Structures are given as structure tokens and as C-alpha cells.
Structure 1
């Protein structure tokens, strides 16, 4: 299977995604109270209670400071005007990792600090001001319950809410870039959020039981939902990280492939950083791993859904399915560092099932078409080599063709691509490709038959025949090993190969069999005089031609010798069945039977020594010799019945031709012996043909 390593580390020129979980993007504008509330705050606030404030709201880092100088006043800046009304502006300290020194904590360790002290502390990034601010909020609630004037309540609440906006921005600024913050500062920010969540729950419970008399004079500010705001910040961070344009990919890599790699690397590396570095610091109620995983997953899915809307090229369709079905769920979510952490997080698939099925159907169709085209091209090149009389390669002393290797490789690669996506898709692809392979093998057989007919005058004719017969071994071995689960592969896959091999054997043996024909005729022309000499010449002719077949693979050379063995036995029987020899005495019949036995032994020994394994032919001639030798009709019947079980295609016509040699049998005896073939012996149809190749008349 194509593993994640291929995309994360194995591709040329690849670099890891820099700045894992860097959170360096500019923070989005955070929710604030409305402009109407800010204006009310300004109109109600008294400047004589306030100390000179900083001249502007401070951004968490230098980039935000520059941006703040260029922006027009916002609602947030209007709100903080209640702190600067009628006062001269002065310089503002930076909030980037402020030094936490004891002397910079005026009023935080004693009585509740004033609004101005809290504002100064928060502008310095001192999150410990959150507790006094909460106490200030609680005092405000007590004042509302105690009957304070509405004007006074509005003025004081405006100040409290302005401080909360500043605290919120400081806290979420830390949580936006948690890996850049010191661990203690990060814990402070998390503690503030947790404390605000508790206050939210208490406020909701109090409101439900009407336990806050007089609080109706205050504007509703809880629940503040800072935990929810943090989750929104995580979603923004995920978008920033995944929307970053990937670095230029390696040469030959498509834009989609570069995007997939960027998305996958970023998700994997960022989530691993969350597990290793943030989870130990975050309280369990934050569900930090699940929050980041869900945000990254949703944005990854949005990217892929957007890409899937366009018409993708074949390779990009494959890559999309590969990431959705394999690499993302298996090599990212189920990677060693993330699997246990995400086992209870329900992320689901990156694409809807229906869309995945459509993409899979597109992939199967296009891949099958590609495989078909590549196989046809390989066969065409091979056919051109035959026509151009190009000699085949020699490999280990055998004629060799690359066609089988090319075809099997093309099919195997197509199936492997599908299996890389899912095993189920690999199974579907296997069935599709086997249909295409079957069609290719039929085309191969037809092209080979045309070559056998038209190429007889070519110098490398026989060598190319041998090379293509040898091809059948590679095809057969691959199909039996890779697709042995098929119920009946032989019917539509191996049959074309079997026919190709048989036709190739016929072409190789054609000249030999032509040379043997007049030699076999001598048996009847000489009325079976001196049959040993005739057979010796036949065997010598065959032996002289055997070196022509040395470049066949051993298994095919053995099969070819079986074909020679069959031909010798068949032609011998044809000579016995010519009805030109009638022997009226038992002595003559016994002499002929001895000749046949001797000849049968020579044929069997020669063919076996040279590799024939056609042992099924061994009884063919000796049993006929026994039928000719026997004189008792009952004994002959037994031999005939036994013979019919060995050779089910042995017919009455064949039996008549043999019995015609026995000139001392009466017509009634011949009929009685012949009728023995009418008895059903339960013999099956012959798996090999012998007598069906012999015509008698």
C-alpha cells in the first residue's frame, strides 16, 4: 500500500510544514459590546475618577500594533474612551510577554484595586487582575441589589465591561498562540476561562431561580461563553494553518497533490503538537485534543469538498480518494501518537458517502479504460515485432517475450491503486480488470493466429512461436497466484492461452508430421511386413527434429512431446484400421499382435525418455494387440469392455475396423462383441481425445 511516508517524507524536495501550530496569523476581531452601550458608557462616565490612560489599545504583538495605528477608531476604542475622557495621552507599554515583577502589582494583593489600576495591570498583560475584576463585578451586582441609582449602575457597569473586553482579548491572545506562551502564563489564561465558565453557570442558575433581585437594572452580560470563544479561536487557527499556500511542490507534482500533502502534514504535525505539548497543560473540561481535531477535520473536509466540486483529472481523483479513504483515517488519525487520543472523537469521513461512491465509480471507469489502452498498446507493439521479423530475446536458453510481463504489470498496478484506497475497492477493481484481461487474451490469441497464417516465410517465425508459447507460463502463473479465488478462471482467462499454445504446437510440429506421413503408410503398403524397421525410421525422424524445440520451457517441451506421443499412437491405430489386412489364422493374428506389442514398447520408451508424461496412452496399442491375439469371443468381449472404460470415445466403427483383421470370426460373433459397447459402463466423457481424432469408414 502506498503509505503516508510517501507523502510526508518520501517525495523529492519535500519539506516539513514550518512553524507547527505557530498561530502566527493575525487574530480575528473578537466580539465586543455594542456601540450603543459604549456611547452610553461615555455619557455616564465621570472623568474625575480616572487616571491618565495609555494612548491606544495595545495589540498582542508588533504586527497588531502596526495594524492598530492604521485602523480607524472601533467600537472597542470608543468603549475605552471612558478611561481617557479629558486626560492627556501618554506612552503605552508592550504586552508581548510582559515582565511579571512584584512592584508592578499596585493594589492587587490588598483591597480591591480601582478601575484604573486594573486597567493598567491588564494593559501590561497581567492576568492575575482577573480575580479583582470578578470581585468588582460582584460588587456591582451587590450595588444593583442595594438600590443604587440606574445612572451610577450604568456608569460602573460600562467600566467593568470595558475591563472584561481587555481581559478577554489578553486571554484569547495567549490561547491563540499557546505554544509561544510561557507555561505559567498559559495556565493563568486557562484558569481565567475556567473561572468565567463557573461564573456563567452560576449566573444562569441564579437567573433561572430569580436569585438576583434588583439586577434587572444592569444589562445582561452573562453567560460570557469564553470557552466557546476559545473554540472559535481554535477554528480560526485551523483555518489560518490549513489555508496557508503550500510551498512549491516537487517537479511533476500537481497542484492538487501539493495541497493534499500540505493539508495532511499540517493536520498530523499540529495535532501531535497538541497531544504532546498542550494536553498536559489544559484542564480536561477544555477537551483540547478533541477541539483541535474537530476544527482541523472540519476545515480539511471543507477544502476537499471544494476541490471535489470541480472536474478533477484522473490522478487527482485517485489522490482525493486515497486521502479520504486511506491516508487520512489510517496514517493520520490512527497514527501511533494520535490513535489513542482520538478514539473517542467522532470525526467521520472527510466526504459524504454518496460523493465517495461517485468518485469511486469515476476512478474504476477511468482506471479500467487506462488499463485497457495500455494493454492494447503493448499487444500492438508485440505484433509489430512479429510482422517485422524481429528475433525474440533469449533468456536462460529460452525464447522470451516481454508481453506477458508488461500485461501482468499493467493489470497489477491498476489493482494495487484501488487496493491502496480500500480493500473493498481493490476487490471491485479486480473483477473489472479481469474482464479487460480476458478480452485482451482473446485479442492476443487472434493476433497470434493471424501471425501463424501469414508469417510462415519469416526467418524468425519458429522462434517467435516458441517465445509466445513460453509467454503462456508467465500468464498462467500470475493468474493462478493472484486470482485463485475466482470460481472458474479457466473458462474465460486460461482458455485463450490454451488455444494459443495448441495452435503454436501445431505450427511447430506441422513439418514433422508431414515428414512422418509417408513412413506410416509403409505399414499398410507392405502389409505389415518388417514393421520394426519402419518404426525405427519413424523414431529416427522424430529424434532428429527434437533440438528444434529446445528453446521451449521444460513444461512446454514435455507437453509438445505428449503431442508427438499422441500423434505416433494415433497414426499407428489409423494404419491398423484401414481394413487392408485380413488374417484368417490364429497364428497370423498372434504374430501381428507381437509386432504391435514390440512397436508399442518402442514408442512408449522413446517418448517417456524425452519427457512425455502421457501415460494415459500406454494401454492404447497393447490392448488392441490383445484383442487381435485372443480367439475366444468371451475373452475378446472383456478386453473390449475394459478398453471402452479407458477410452470412452472408442466407438463401434473403430471396433469393427479392428475386428476386420480377425478373418476367422463369424458375423454373429462380431455382432455379439460389438454389442458390448451398448452396455452403459458409467464411463464419463473423455477428458483427452484419441479415437475421436481417428476417422474410420
Structure 2
């Protein structure tokens, strides 16, 4: 059977197998009459099957590959030399086995051959093969029914799809082969043979100019060998000839170096020259110390050429003039980033494949961009004047250059991960840029502060506008303006780096220290006279600066000294505004307080009513003042009113007679309670002052003089600085100026002061020591000096 197979394969013309409708085999004699015709049909049939199978997507099984154009002639010749494979229907197995028993095997083979091929049509050219055609067409129809391939239109679609898929696979394979070829460029390089006789200098120069670098370099090496041999063989030969040769070499190498630089600066003009240029550089690096060549490194020159090309690209980025476009820097830096990314993408995807790996092309370009861009930024910085441009430049250097927008771009991954993307800035350049930014920010903050004062004058002082209120407290809007500006500066600095944040906070508070004093000068200048809103304005600014001071405390941890300096300036201004209010109140109530404890006071309430009304107005003003200044202000004026009101008793201006002391005591107690209620409403901190009015009223109001000494204990206990001279003044106001009982009262005071624990008393609670005591000498003129010596100040 094997012999039969071999025979059938080697000589297809002798293949006489044919089938009847019942599957029996005819004799060779019968086949011989029409064998030529049937055999021709079979061969045509085989070719159609082979053609359909080759175009079928099923032929592209795993492991198959689309061949390149260079391989096509070989494959075609191979296929032409080898005989076509035998038809499945004419295999030797069909001769040994009945067709019916081998039907399944034939169906399987037919399924592999006809799965996507075009359905066969019946031939009308030769009626002699009709029986064979009918038999085979029936079997083909059975196969088509099993595969559900009914129409020609369907099979045409499948064939078209198979061809398109095959073409896509072929394109992908070509791309893969191209990538493989890119990676196949190695550092190893076999130098072609150097010509024994070099071309002339003009011819070599022409080769360089036309870009025939390899040939030009080989001739240069040949010329260089001649120079070396001549200098070694005839060291004492013609010096002029050697100098001429050396000059020619230097001239040609200079031309070659310039050509290399031009190619590197514009690598996309002709990529084919890049590999030739790279090989020239490699060879020259090997011969660096040999005579006849250039003295400096060709690799260094190549890197400098890369820098020159990068510099050309950077300088070509569009840059508006400052007066033409306020956003000139932002636009330029945006375009610069795009140019950097685009160029590095081209280096990564295209350019580096034209160089041997040892050149590290991508790394070189990244490093050169770090250097050239840093130099470019230094020139830009000299043109920057506005705060926003200083910030934009800092932000681009610190954040954006390394971000995904530029050096961290996804299109440059993963190659960029192994590279340093730090700009090669000059030493202290970034620090100097930060300092300039801070100084410009201070100038901007100063302008904001000046503008705030101008607005306050235009909107409030000039028209006498009542202050606006917030939570029932009059307050200006300028603290929000100042606070918003400072927060904006600080938050923007945080986006850059922590170092800048500290500098910005310090610079802000250095400038803010000047604001309270400048504001006070402007306020005093524009509000000289006491306007109806004079008091409200001062309370408003006490509240405003208190609020500003409170909000600035959050930066105490970042810049403690700066915050303290600002707080000190604010406290100084608030103290001055409060002193103005205190002085105004003291001046208003002064005439009414001076007429207390007089004959008119005893019979007329007019002066006290004026004192009370002004104190009540003061209480209303205090309610508009934010804590803690409201309590401090109320306490200071509370103390002043007590000193002045009780102090009138010490001046001995009036002495009660005919039991008028009882009326006076009642009036003092009543008025004192009214004043105390006001100061209590004002939340005065000096609660210890509330007792003095009642303590002295009890002494003055006693009917019997003998009972006075029994009421000295409270005043001595509450006010340890209450002395004999103060008691003499109180007794004088009561109408008790001399006598035995007078002496007993004074002795009782002396005894009580000895009993009181002065150490336990609060030394800050000083009241009577700050009152001026006037001694009435008329009533003591008949007494000897020894009796009145205790009234002298030293006693």
C-alpha cells in the first residue's frame, strides 16, 4: 500500500482511481480512455481546494506566522517544486476500504478542507466526468448541510472576513518584527575595510556634505593611517608636508563634527544618518588618543549637540511680551511643558532605536532637558515682577515639572522612572526665588492694608456712616479682608513646600505689625473732632482688632515671634482706643462728681442724675464691646467712679449739722446702690468695691456717737488701707469734730487695725491710699500739737 502511495504521489498522471455511484472500482482499461480528462479535472479541483484552504483563517493555526516579502520567492519556489498533496477522496485508504465504511473519515477530512471555502459548482465543460461530479457534489452538499453553509453570500462574507483578519495579523506581525529589529541594534560593530588609498580632501568633504558618513569616515581613517605611517617612518621628513596633512585632517574632522552636530540637532530630517553617525562616534572614541584625530571626546561633543538641539526647542517656544499679555508666563510655561513631553515621547518611541544602547539616548535627553530648562528659567525669572508670576514660576519648578503633566507623563513610562527629573538649578537659585516671592508678597499685603484704610475712610468716616453689627457687636469688615489675604498667601505657599510656608507666615506678620499703627494714624487724622459716632467708632475698632488678633493666633505654632509682635501692636492700639473712651467719660462726669458731698448735693439730685445718666450710657457702650475688653473697661471706670465719689468725703467740703447726717447717710446708700447696679450689669471685675458705700453709710448714719466705734470693723476688714486721717474726714462730714467720744473712736480704729491680719489681705485692692485727704485746720486750732500730730501724713 505504501508503494502505491509513493507511486501516486510521485506520478500524479498515473492516478486512475475513480468511483461509480455504488462505490466500486473500475478496471484500469476502462479508466484509460477518459483518464486524461478526469485527471485534469482532479488537478484543477485540488488546486481550488488548496487555494481555499490557504486563504482560510483556520489555516492560521497557533504557531503559524505571516512571512515577510523577502521570504516570498523562496516559499513560492518550494511550493512549485513539491507535488500537490493527494486528494482526500483519492487516498490509498479508499482503495482498501469500502466507501461506506470510510464515510466518517472522509467527512472529517472534508470538514477540515471545506469549512470556510467556497462551495464547489458543477462543471459543464466535460460530460464524461458527470458521474464523478454528481457523486462528489452529492457528498459536498452533505458536507455543506452538516456545516450549515447554505448560500454563496454567506461564504463570501466569511472569506472576506478571513482575508481581513489575515491581513491584520500580518500587519501586527510586521510591527512586532519591526520592534524586534529595533531592539537588535547592538553596540558590536564590524568596521568595513579601510581603503588603502584615501580619496582627496575635497572628495571626502563632499561625502560629508552629502551625508555619506560611513564612506567619508573610512577615507578619513585611511588618511589618518597615512599620516601616522608617514610621521613614524620619516620623523625627520618634511615638516611642512606633515603639517599640511594634519591641517587637512583637522579640517575634515571639524567638518565631520559639525555634520554630526547638525544631525543631532535635527534628528528627524534623516533617521538613516543617525546610526552611521553613532558608529562614527564609537570608532572615534576608540581612537581618541591616536594621532590625527580631534583631541576632545566625541561622546561629550554628541552630548553637547543634544544640549544644543534641546536649547533650540526650548527657545522656540512662544513667549509673549509682558505688556501684550498679563498671563505671558503661565502661557509660556504651559507650552514649554508640552514641547518637553512631545520631544521626549519622540526620543522614547523613535529616536533611541537609531542608536546603540550604550548611548543611553533617553537618559541623555532627560538630563539635558534638566540642565537647559533650568538655564531658561533663570532668564525668565529676571523678567518676573508680579506676585502671581513669582508663584507660577515656583509652582512650575517645585510641582508641575515632575508631575504627570511633564516629566511624570504616562507616555514616558516606565523609562522615566529610572531617571532623575530634578532641574539642575544654580545653587541658591530656589532660595533666592523664595525670598523675592516673600518680598513681593509683603508689598502686596501692604497695598491691601492701604486700600483697607482708604475704603474705611470713603465708606465710613467721610460720610459719618454708622458701623455695621455682627452678633450685636459693631465691627468693621476690614478684618475679613486682611484675614482672607493672609490665609490666601499662606495656603498657596503650603501647596509649594513647607519651607516657603514658614517664610510666608513670618513675612506676613512682619508686615502686619505696621498695620495697627498706620490705621490709628489715619483714623485720628480723619476723625479729629468728637462726632456723634466718635465713641461707637472706637468701640467698633476695638472689636475689629480683637477679632483679627484672635484669628491670627492659629499661626502661633508656625511663627510664634511674628504672632507675638503683631499681638503686641494690636494690644497697643486697643489700649489707646480704650484710654480715649475712659478719658472721654472722666471728662464728662468730672463736674458732677466734684459737687458730690456738698450742701447742694444734700438738697438737690441734679448732679447725681447727670452722673448716673452718663454712667448708664457707659454701660450701654460696654454692652457693645467684645470680651474680654468690656469687663476690663468697666472695671477701670468702676474704680474711677468709686475713687471720685467717696473721695469727696475726704475733702472736708461739708459737715452735717442738726442731725442732717442721717439724711446724708441714706442718700449715700441709695446713690451707691444705683451706681453699683450699673457696674454690676457691666460685669465689672472689681466686686470688692461694692462694700465701701454701705460701710461708710453705717458710720455716718449712727444716731449716737457712742455706737460709731462698734461699726468700724467692716470697713477695716474690707479695706485695710483705711487709716485715721480717713476716719477723721468721715467723722468731720458726720459733724463729729472733737470731744472725748471722738478720741475713743480713733483709739478703737487703732486697736482694730492691729487685730486685722494685713498679710491675708489682697495688696492689689488699694482704695483709700489713692484718695487725697484734706485736713480742716480751723476746727483743730485750739488743740495742742501733740493732740493733732497723728493726723500728719507721716503718722
Question: Is 2:374 the partner of 1:305?
Answer: no
Aligned length: 532
Q: Does 1:496 align with 2:565?
A: no
Aligned-pair CA distance for 1:160: 9.8
1:297-332 CA-to-partner distances (Å, cap 9, x unmatched) read 111012123345x46534455554454455546786
Q: Which residue of structure 1 lines up, in the alignment, with residue 514 of structure 2?
A: 439
| Match 1:474 to one of 524, 544, 547 | 547
TM-score (norm 2): 0.49
Q: Does 1:102 align with 2:80?
A: no
- Specify the alignment match of 2:121 in structure 1: none
CA contact (8 A) 1:304 1:350 kept: no
Relative to structure 1, is the Cα distance of residues 363 and 384 closer, same or farther in structure 2, using a 3 angstrom cutoff? same
Maintained 8 Å contact 1:398/1:551: yes
Query: Structure 1 pair 691/394, CA: closer, same or farther in 2 (3 Å)?
Result: farther
After TM superposition, the score normalised by the length of structure 1 is 0.55
Report SS of the residue matched to 1:401: coil
Residue 316 of structure 2 is aligned to residue 244 of structure 1: yes
The corresponding residue for 1:22 is none
Q: Secondary structure at the match of 2:730?
A: coil
Q: State how far apart, in whole Å, the 2-side matches of 1:554 and 1:475 are.
A: 14
Q: Describe the shift of the 1:233–1:607 C-alpha distance in structure 2 as closer, same or farther (beyond 3 A).
A: same
The yes-or-no answer on 1:620 pairing with 2:588 is no
1:382 is aligned, of 435, 440, 456, to: 456
2:592 equivalent to 1:518: yes
| Aligned pairs for 1:144-183 within 5 A | 150-151=196-197, 161-162=214-215
CA deviations on 1:173-221 (whole Å, 9 max, x unpaired) are 899879x99xxxx9x999x7999799979x96x999xxxxxxx9x9999
The answer to whether residue 518 in structure 2 is matched with residue 448 in structure 1 is no
Query: Alpha-carbon deviations, 1:131-179, whole Å to 9, x = none?
Result: 99999946749xxxxxxx945999xx999932989xx999x9899879x
Q: Distance in 2 between matches of 1:490 and 1:652?
A: 43
Please give the alpha-carbon distance, in whole angstroms, between the structure 1 residues aligned to 2:709 and 2:493: 69
Alignment partners' CA distance in 2, 1:279 and 1:624: 100
Q: Does the CA-based 8 Å contact 2:486-2:508 persist in structure 1?
A: yes
| Aligned counterparts of 2:536 and 2:542: Cα–Cα separation in 1 | 10
Looking at structure 1, the residues matched to 214 and 188 of structure 2 have their Cα atoms a distance apart, in angstroms, of: 13
Residues of 2 paired with 1:105 and 1:176: CA distance?
A: 39
| Residues 525, 344 of structure 1: alpha-carbon distance in 2 compared, 3 angstrom cutoff | farther
Are 2:646 and 1:573 equivalent residues in the alignment?
A: yes
How far apart, CA to CA, are the structure 2 residues paired with 1:275 and 1:668? 109
Q: Is the 8 A contact 1:404 1:474 kept in 2?
A: yes
Query: Shift in Å at residue 618 of structure 1?
Result: 1.3
Distance verdict in 2 for CA 1:544–1:632, change over 3 Å: closer
* Deviation per residue, 1:386-413 (Å, 9 max, x gap): 6634414534565453444444455555
C-alpha distance in 1 between matches for 2:352 and 2:661:
102
Q: CA deviation at 1:580?
A: 5.5
Alpha-carbon contact 1:238-1:296 (below 8 Å) kept: yes
Contact 2:394 2:496 survives alignment (8 Å): yes
Counterpart residue number, 2:83: none
Contact 2:475–2:540 under 8 Å retained in 1: yes
- Asked whether the 8 Å contact 1:441–1:497 carries over to 2, the reply is yes
| 1:428 corresponding residue in structure 2 | 503
* Structure-2 residue corresponding to 1:88: none
Q: From the superposition, tell whether residues 139 and 348 of structure 1 become closer, same or farther in structure 2 (CA, over 3 Å).
A: closer
Inter-CA distance 479–276: structure 2 relative to 1 (3 Å threshold): farther
Structure 1 runs not aligned, ≥5 long: 1-98, 107-124, 142-148, 209-215, 645-650
Contact residue 550 and residue 557 of structure 1 kept, 8 A: yes
The runs of 5 or more residues in structure 2 that have no matched partner are 1-66, 75-177, 219-256, 700-706, 732-741, 775-795
Deviates more, 1:348-357 or 1:228-237: 228-237
CA-based RMSD: 6.4
Tell me the CA shift for residue 268 of structure 1.
5.6
Q: Quick one: distance in 2 between partners of 1:160 and 1:450?
A: 84
The verdict on how the C-alpha distance between 1:174 and 1:386 changes in structure 2, with shifts beyond 3 A counting, is: closer
Contact 2:264–2:306, Cα closer than 8 Å, also in 1: no
Deviation string for 1:269-304 (max 9, x for gaps)?
666887899999999866565433212111101212
What SS is found at the alignment partner of 1:619?
Answer: helix
Q: Is the 8 A contact 2:535 2:581 kept in 1?
A: no
Contact kept, 8 Å, 1:597 with 1:621, in 2: the verdict is no
Asked whether the 8 Å contact 1:238–1:299 carries over to 2, the reply is: yes
Check conservation: 1:246, 1:259, Cα contact below 8 A: yes
Map 1:114-153; keep pairs closer than 5 Å: 137=190, 140=193, 150-151=196-197
Would the alpha carbon gap of residues 574 and 277 (structure 1) be closer, same or farther in structure 2, given more than 3 Å must change?
farther
Q: Which whole-Å CA distance do the structure 1 matches of 2:395 and 2:630 have between them?
A: 46
8 Å Cα contact 2:596/2:608 also seen in 1: no
| Among candidates 468, 474, 480, match of residue 394 of structure 1 | 468
Shift of 1:666: 6.0
The structure-2 alpha-carbon separation of the partners of 1:104 and 1:510, relative to structure 1 and needing over 3 Å to count, comes to farther
* SS of equivalent to 1:479: helix
Q: Is the 1:597–1:625 contact (alpha carbons within 8 Å) kept by the matching residues of 2?
A: yes
Shift, 1:483, TM fit:
4.4
**Structure 1 residues 610-651: Cα deviation after superposition (integer angstroms, max 9, x where no partner):** 4x222x31121316745886999999789757656xxxxxx6
Residue of structure 1 equivalent to 2:39: none
Structure 1 residues 570 and 627: CA distance shift in structure 2, 3 A: closer
Mapped partners of 1:355, 1:132: distance in 2: 42
CA contact (8 A) 2:408 2:416 kept: no
Take 2:430 and 2:654, find their aligned partners in 1: how far apart are those partners?
Answer: 78
Q: In 2, are the aligned partners of 1:469 and 1:500 still within 8 Å (CA)?
A: no
Contact 1:392–1:401 (CA<8 Å) still a contact in 2?
no
For 2:517 and 2:186, locate their aligned partners in 1 and report how far apart those are by CA, in whole Å: 86
Aligned to 1:505: 581
> Residue 352 of structure 1: CA displacement?
1.9
Alignment CA distance shift 1:546-1:486 (3 Å): same
